[in-house]
Amino acid sequence: MKASYRAIIGREFVDSDEKIEVKNPYNDSHLTYVTMAGEDLFITALEKARTAQREFIKMSLPERSAVLLRASEEIDRNREHLARIITLESGKPIKDARAEVERAAIVFRIAYSLCEEERGEFLSLEKNPVSRRHFGIVRRFPLGVGIGITPFNFPLNLVAHKVAPALASGNAIIIKPASKTPVSALLLADILNSAQLMDGMLSVLPSKSEVVERVITRSDSLKFLTFTGSASVGWHLKSLVPKKKVLLELGGNAGLIIDRDVDIEYAVKRSVYGAFAYSGQICISVQRIFVHREVFDRFLDAFVLAAEGLKAGDPLSENVDIGPVIDRQSVERIMTIIDEAKKGGAKVLTGGEVMENNIIKPTVLTDIKPDMRVYAEEVFGPVVTIERIDSINEGIERINSSIYGLQAGIFTNNIKNAFMAYEGIEAGGVVVNNIPTFRS
């Protein structure tokens, strides 16, 4: 990692007097300094993006899509370097960081393929007698210039989620990465520039939240906002720009049902991964598990044993499963939630302790009450609750008792129960025979 990184507007590196220090979450050691952009740099980036976007959409689809394919190939070529940067600035275990890099490359390949799809649709208007021998054309057009705000937990892939679709659909975008993990986004901008992306179509501007808020509320040239992060921040941002296109991907406390007829070994293996991957710092991490009474004890014993078998330590080590949470403030917040549950009568079956280097032991709780924060809120840490249920309907009701509805899942060999969960759970997605954390 370099001693310092500047912000990027198109192909130009830009600087300011304000810098932010990036630290390694594992040991709080200094990594680098990164330029923090003020409102003036955002205005410059917006003006440059508007000009570039008007020219970009004049390019042929093969020319535009080729940039995305080259970017995907360049990500693949730099896999190990990118993975190491992700691990250093986010604390993600290196094996998971490599998977993130691979996923980011796939995102750009998918965006490339979308450029090749048919973009128009013909509609007959002949149902109305006055419109006989008439037809309509439906076609999507780019919005223009947008801002993407990304979180710390997937500092490369969630930036790719914003950038690749925007470029594929002809939009320019300015990325405001998480202040804890800005380097991965800056490296992605480098990659796209080396892939010959038109100057101005992508800028990466680390900055303070209040700066971005001023920009999105004052700029008429900004046409859309895409945000991934906490629900409170997301809805607040949406309220600031009611007349702009807004795309939010917010938090969750994903529920998972374990039916009585499942392969316990497989369900436990996947559930443990879903609960504790990246120390639970994933918006679709498994947080609440509801197990049919007939297999509850078997599942619980096996789950606790598997959780205790996870190796915690330096995330750069190849055999480490559990690394640090992002900072000391997060450690304190998560432990407060665990302690409140314990005081309320919850049982800690394993974990519930802080190790050195911002690592929290994988924690399993039971005897949970619905009003406990560990049940009602998004913990965003290596904590899971496991409760017994008497029926699939009860599991569905328990999942739906949350204010969140991002993702859920069910393990079952009963097709009727699978569809019951699919139709009854109030969530954006229901994964059958895999964890809510699963992504195709």
Closest by alpha carbon to 439, among 155, 164, 102? 102
DSSP result, 298-337: HHHHHHHHHHHTPPBS-TTSTT--B---S-HHHHHHHHHH
Quick one: 283 exposed, middle or buried, by C-beta within 10 A (0-12, 13-18, 19+)?
buried
Identity at 210, one-letter amino acid code: E
**Three-state SS for 293?**
helix
Sequence-distant (≥ 6) Cβ neighbours of residue 261 within 8 angstroms = 412, 413, 414
**Torsion-angle region of residue 288: left (phi > 0), alpha (psi -120 to 50) or beta?**
beta
Active site residue 115: no
Q: Distance between CA 20 and CA 364 in Å, rounded?
A: 36
- Which of 12, 73, 102, 249 is flagged as catalytic? 249
Q: Distance between CA 23 and CA 327 in Å, rounded?
A: 9
The answer to whether 64 touches 115, Cβ cutoff 8 Å, is yes
- Which of 89, 115, 283, 387 is flagged as catalytic? 283
How many Cα atoms within 13 Å fall on the side-chain side of residue 46?
A: 22
DSSP result, 222-287: EEEEEEES-HHHHHHHHHH-TTSEEEEE----EEEEE-TTS-HHHHHHHHHHHHHGGGG-STT-EE
Give me the active site residues, please: 249, 283
